[in-house]
Amino acid sequence: MSEQKHEEGVPFYPDHLALEAKVALGVGILVVIIGIIGLFIPVGVGAPADPMDTPAHIKPEWYFLSLYQLLRFIPKTIGATAPVIAILLIMVWPFLDHKPEKTTKIRQIRFWFSVIAVIIIIALTIWGEVS
Amino acid sequence: MKTVYRTILITLLSVILVAFSAAVVHANTAPVPAGVILEDGIAQPLTGTIEPEKDTCIQCHVDGSFTNIWTPFLRWVVFGAAGVAVLFGVARSASVWKTRSPWVPIPKRILGWVDERYQLSELMEPILSKPVPDWQRRWYYCLGGLTFFFFLVQGVTGIMLAFYYKPTPAEAYASIQFIENEVLLGSAVRMIHHWSANGMIVMACAHMLRVFIMGAYKPPRELNWVSGVILLVMTLAFGFTGYLLPWDQRAYWATTVGTEIAGSIPVIGQLAFIFLRAGWNISSLTLSRFFGLHVLVLPLVTVGTMLAHFLMIRKQGIMKPL
Angle at A33 between CA A29 and CA A34, to 5 degrees: 120
Q: What is the ipTM of this complex?
A: 0.91
Of B4-18, B22-36, B263-277, B306-320, the poorest mean pLDDT is in B22-36
Q: Is the pLDDT of residue A4 over 60?
A: no
The per-residue pLDDT for B60 is: 67
* Interface membership of B152 toward A (CB under 8 Å): no
What predicted TM-score, i.e. pTM, was given to this entire model?
A: 0.79
**Mean pLDDT of all residues belonging to chain B:** 88
A1 pLDDT band (50/70/90 cuts)?
very low
* Chain B neighbors of A36, CB-CB under 8 A: 188
* Interface membership of B319 toward A (CB under 8 Å): no
* Chain A neighbors of B281, CB-CB under 8 A: 51
The per-residue pLDDT for A58 is: 84
What is d(CA A85, CA A89) in angstroms, rounded to the nearest whole number? 6
**Mean pLDDT of all residues belonging to chain A:** 89
For chain B, how big is the Rg over CA atoms in Å?
A: 30
Of A3-7, B151-155, B313-317, the poorest mean pLDDT is in A3-7
Q: Give, for B17, the enclosing helix (H) or strand (E).
A: helix B2-29
Q: Higher confidence at residue B49 or residue A19?
A: A19
Residues 260-289 of B with CB under 8 A from A: 261-262, 264-266, 269, 281-282
Q: Is the pLDDT of residue B47 over 70?
A: no
What is d(CA B175, CA B180) in angstroms, rounded to the nearest whole number? 9
Ordered by start, the domain boundaries in chain A are: 9-43, 62-130
What is d(CA B117, CA B115) in angstroms, rounded to the nearest whole number? 5
The per-residue pLDDT for B23 is: 81
What's the DSSP call for residue B248?
B
Query: Which of A9, A47, A103 lies at the smallest CB-CB distance from B132?
Result: A9
CA B24, B27, B31, B33: dihedral to nearest 10 degrees? Answer: 170
pLDDT in tens, A44-68: 888 899 888 888 888 889 999 999 9
* Chain B neighbors of A15, CB-CB under 8 A: 132
Q: Give, for B316, the enclosing helix (H) or strand (E).
A: helix B298-316
Of A18-22, A74-78, B129-133, B296-300, the poorest mean pLDDT is in B129-133
List the helix and strand counts (H, then E) for chain A.
Answer: 4, 1
Q: Is the pLDDT of residue A33 over 60?
A: yes
Q: B160 with B189: CB under 8 angstroms?
A: yes
3-state secondary structure B176-224: HHHHHHCCCCHHHHHHHHHHHHHHHHHHHHHHHHHHHHHCCCCCCCHHH
The chain A residue lying nearest B176, using CA atoms, is A45
Cα–Cα separations (whole angstroms), residue B131 to A14, A22, A111, B128, B317: 10, 19, 30, 8, 12
Q: Higher confidence at residue B73 or residue B110?
A: B110
The per-residue pLDDT for B52 is: 57
Q: B254 with A58: CB under 8 angstroms?
A: yes
Q: Where are the beta strands (DSSP E) in chain A?
A: 9-11
- Residue B34: partners with Cβ closer than 8 Å, 6 or more residues away: B50
Task: Tell the CATH superfamily of the B133-316 domain.
Answer: Cytochrome Bc1 Complex; Chain C (1.20.810.10)
Q: Higher confidence at residue B28 or residue A106?
A: A106
Say if strands B42-45 and B36-39 run parallel, antiparallel, or are unpaired: antiparallel
Q: Higher confidence at residue B228 or residue A72?
A: B228
B54 pLDDT band (50/70/90 cuts)?
low
Query: Which of A7, A16, A43 lies at the smallest CB-CB distance from B191?
Result: A43
Residues 36-95 of B with CB under 8 A from A: none
Residue B166 C-alpha from the chain's centroid? 22
- Please tell me whether residue A115 adopts helix, strand or coil conformation: helix
Residue A2 C-alpha from the chain's centroid? 40
* Interface membership of B219 toward A (CB under 8 Å): yes
B317 pLDDT band (50/70/90 cuts)?
confident
What is d(CA A126, CA A66) in angstroms, rounded to the nearest whole number? 8
Residue B80 C-alpha from the chain's centroid? 25
Which of A16, A31, A41, A66 is the best mutation test for B, with the most CBs of B within 10 A? Answer: A31
Q: Which of B285, A52, B167 is nearest to B176 (CA)?
A: B167
* DSSP codes of every residue in B89-117: HHHHHHHHHHH-SPPPPHHHHHHHHHHHH
Q: A9 with B133: CB under 8 angstroms?
A: yes
Q: Is the pLDDT of residue B265 over 80?
A: yes
- Look at A37 and B222 and tell me if their CB atoms are within 8 Å: no
The per-residue pLDDT for B56 is: 53
* Chain A neighbors of B201, CB-CB under 8 A: 63
Report CA torsion sign: B285, B286, B288, B293. positive
Q: Give, for B43, the enclosing helix (H) or strand (E).
A: strand B42-45
Phi/psi of residue B88, nearest 5 degrees: -65, -45
Q: Is the pLDDT of residue A6 over 70?
A: no
The per-residue pLDDT for B185 is: 92
The chain A residue lying nearest B171, using CA atoms, is A48
Q: What share of chain A is helix, strand, coil (3-state, %, to 5)?
A: 65, 5, 30
pLDDT in tens, B178-231: 999 999 899 999 999 999 999 999 999 999 999 999 999 998 899 999 999 999
pLDDT in tens, B89-108: 999 999 888 888 888 898 99
pLDDT in tens, B148-157: 999 999 999 9
- Look at B218 and A98 and tell me if their CB atoms are within 8 Å: yes
The strand pairing partners of B248, in sequence order, are A48
% of chain B surpassing 90 pLDDT: 60
* Interface membership of B130 toward A (CB under 8 Å): yes
Which of A2, A20, A22, A43 is the best mutation test for B, with the most CBs of B within 10 A? Answer: A43
The per-residue pLDDT for A3 is: 43
The per-residue pLDDT for A2 is: 43
For the beta carbon of residue B93, count every other beta carbon within 10 angstroms.
18
Q: Which of B242, B244, B280 is nearest to B260 (CA)?
A: B280
* Chain A neighbors of B135, CB-CB under 8 A: 7
The per-residue pLDDT for B143 is: 93
Of B39-43, B137-141, B259-263, B267-271, the poorest mean pLDDT is in B39-43
Q: Is the pLDDT of residue B235 over 50?
A: yes
Phi/psi of residue A42, nearest 5 degrees: -65, 160
* Chain A neighbors of B131, CB-CB under 8 A: 1, 5, 9-12
